[in-house]
Amino acid sequence: MQGRIVVVAAAGAIAAVGVACGGDAGGAQSREVLVDYVHDEFAASFLAYFPRDVTLRPGDTVTFRQEWTGEPHSVTMGTMVDEMMAVISPLIEEYAELPEDQIPPEVFEQFEAAAAKLPYMLPDTLEGGPVNQNVGQPCYLDEGAPPEDPMQPCTDEQQEQPAFNGRQSYYNSGFIPYTGEQGNTFVVPLADDIEPGTYAYYCNVHGPFQAGTITVVGADEEIPSEAEVARQALAEIEAATAPLAEALAQARSVETATIFGTEVRKPFAGWGSEEPAKIHAFIDEFIPKENTVEVGEVVTWSFVGGHTVSFNVPDYFTQLSIEDDGTVIFSPDALQPRGGPGHPAAEGPPPGEGGEGESEGPDAQESETEEGGAPPGGPPEGPVAVDAGTWDGQSFLSSGMFFDGTYSVTFTEPGRYSYACLVHPHMVGTVVVEEA
Ligand SMILES: [Cu+2]
């Protein structure tokens, strides 16, 4: 991790020298902001921008560079976002460190009311297929809001990116793809006539907790060097990493645990830090990475966060992708169970069950095998236990996305089987099946 940042810092130093040799500060500057972060000690997703604030002058450029952890992101700004964050930022500032039960209910109401004014990229119910195209695709508006119909993208003209002048009502990258010409990159030129001030942006997938600011100063004012910006990014990454590393070490040292109110047993699929606030990051690891069982034995994963357990996966595909006509698609293959029983909540929880926070342990609900392919509906809400039955190591087998609950597979053939999370490409594990 340090190595990479040092390289960035060194490049910054060279750029700074170049400017110094050129005499004055003439010529536009560029500063880089990381979107998410690929850690080299463990797999994780950081729902954050590093650094959180960057200072530039009119005519300069902000380059958002995404590090692909499998989580989709956008960079979304404009006066609509400024207004939302003017309400929400002070709330986060004041209450984020408090345990949830000590936060007055009206704080949540204010937060929700402000956040609800802006549309989100992902539909409320994930089903696979097109996401909300009105904000999943790029959209740059001088005034007004994106189309109300989630399936209606902004017009071709509205998708052409102008410089950011601070007065546009909505200025949205849309989903920043992993591949392609603009892969992992979103470049924001600041207009020559942008007023000095602070401009907010956020991710319209993960919401106002994933947010940052661009501070614009006067044309003749000093701004932090590229190296200083990189150092600040590194400091913020380290601050976000420390509690995660601690939580991971703890997860590795136990067999069972209670996390986010749910009892879990190894192997864990995903992990996180329970420390409140300011850690908008989670661990994309199977813990432990390798499990050894005998033929006929069952392995039961406990999910912590939105992941899949998937064997014999096809070539890598991303959770979200952009089709030739611009449509942003949530891959049904990443979301839905494959080769086993469906999500048990697909047909809705039985009356009186499946309510929020109603954790009854992994045996609370048994799934039934669906006939004729994948069921409709998305990930189950609340803890569920899915038994995929036996698997002989031959077919594509995927749990579908889970946030909570367990997934069991009984292995019938000896061998060494690697598996992966279809959402998070760095999240891989192995099951070794030995002769009984
Ligand atoms: Cu994952």
pLDDT digits (tens, 9 = 90+) for 61-113: 999 999 999 999 999 999 999 999 999 999 988 888 888 888 899 999 999 99
pLDDT digits (tens, 9 = 90+) for 191-237: 999 999 999 999 999 999 999 999 999 999 999 999 999 999 999 99
Q: Tell me how far the alpha carbon of residue 71 lies from the centroid of ligand 1, in angstroms.
A: 9
Topology (CATH level 3) of domain 254-434: Immunoglobulin-like (2.60.40)
Give the pLDDT band of residue 301 (cuts 50, 70, 90): very high
CA distance 133 to 139: 10
Inter-axis angle of helices 226-253 and 2-21, to 10 degrees?
Answer: 180
CATH superfamily name and code, 2-240: Cupredoxins -  blue copper proteins (2.60.40.420)
The whole-number pLDDT of residue 319 equals 87
pLDDT digits (tens, 9 = 90+) for 385-415: 899 999 999 999 999 988 888 999 999 999 9
Q: Tell me how far the alpha carbon of residue 195 lies from the centroid of ligand 1, in angstroms.
A: 42
pLDDT digits (tens, 9 = 90+) for 253-283: 999 999 888 899 999 999 998 876 556 899 9
CA distance 119 to 132: 9
Res 17 pLDDT > 70? no
The whole-number pLDDT of residue 381 equals 65
pLDDT digits (tens, 9 = 90+) for 303-324: 998 999 999 987 778 889 999 9
CA distance 412 to 410: 6
Residues 42-66, mean pLDDT to the nearest whole number: 97
Give the 3-state secondary structure of residue 319.
Answer: coil
Map 363-416 to HEC letters.
CCCECCCCCCCCCCCCCCCCCEEEEEEEECCCCCEECCCEEEEEEEEEECCCEE
Q: Tell me how far the alpha carbon of residue 111 lies from the centroid of ligand 1, in angstroms.
A: 28
CA distance 24 to 27: 9
Q: Give the count of alpha carbons within 13 A of 72, CB side only.
A: 25
Q: Tell me how far the alpha carbon of residue 379 lies from the centroid of ligand 1, in angstroms.
A: 13
**Residue with the larger pLDDT of the pair 8 and 80:** 80
The whole-number pLDDT of residue 378 equals 59
Give the least confident one: 200-204, 368-372, 392-396, 421-425: 368-372
Q: Tell me how far the alpha carbon of residue 318 lies from the centroid of ligand 1, in angstroms.
A: 12
**Residue with the larger pLDDT of the pair 436 and 37:** 37
Note whether 393 and 413 are within 8 A (CB): yes
Q: Tell me how far the alpha carbon of residue 301 lies from the centroid of ligand 1, in angstroms.
A: 13
Q: Tell me how far the alpha carbon of residue 98 lies from the centroid of ligand 1, in angstroms.
A: 28
Q: Tell me how far the alpha carbon of residue 25 lies from the centroid of ligand 1, in angstroms.
A: 45
CATH 2.60.40.420 residue ranges of the chain are 2-240, 254-434
Res 131 pLDDT > 70? yes
- Residue (of 403, 320, 280, 316) closest to 74 by Cα position: 320
Give the least confident one: 153-162, 170-179, 258-267, 346-355: 346-355
The whole-number pLDDT of residue 225 equals 96
Residues 329-354, mean pLDDT to the nearest whole number: 63
In this prediction the pTM is 0.84
The whole-number pLDDT of residue 376 equals 44
The whole-number pLDDT of residue 315 equals 79
Give the pLDDT band of residue 35 (cuts 50, 70, 90): very high
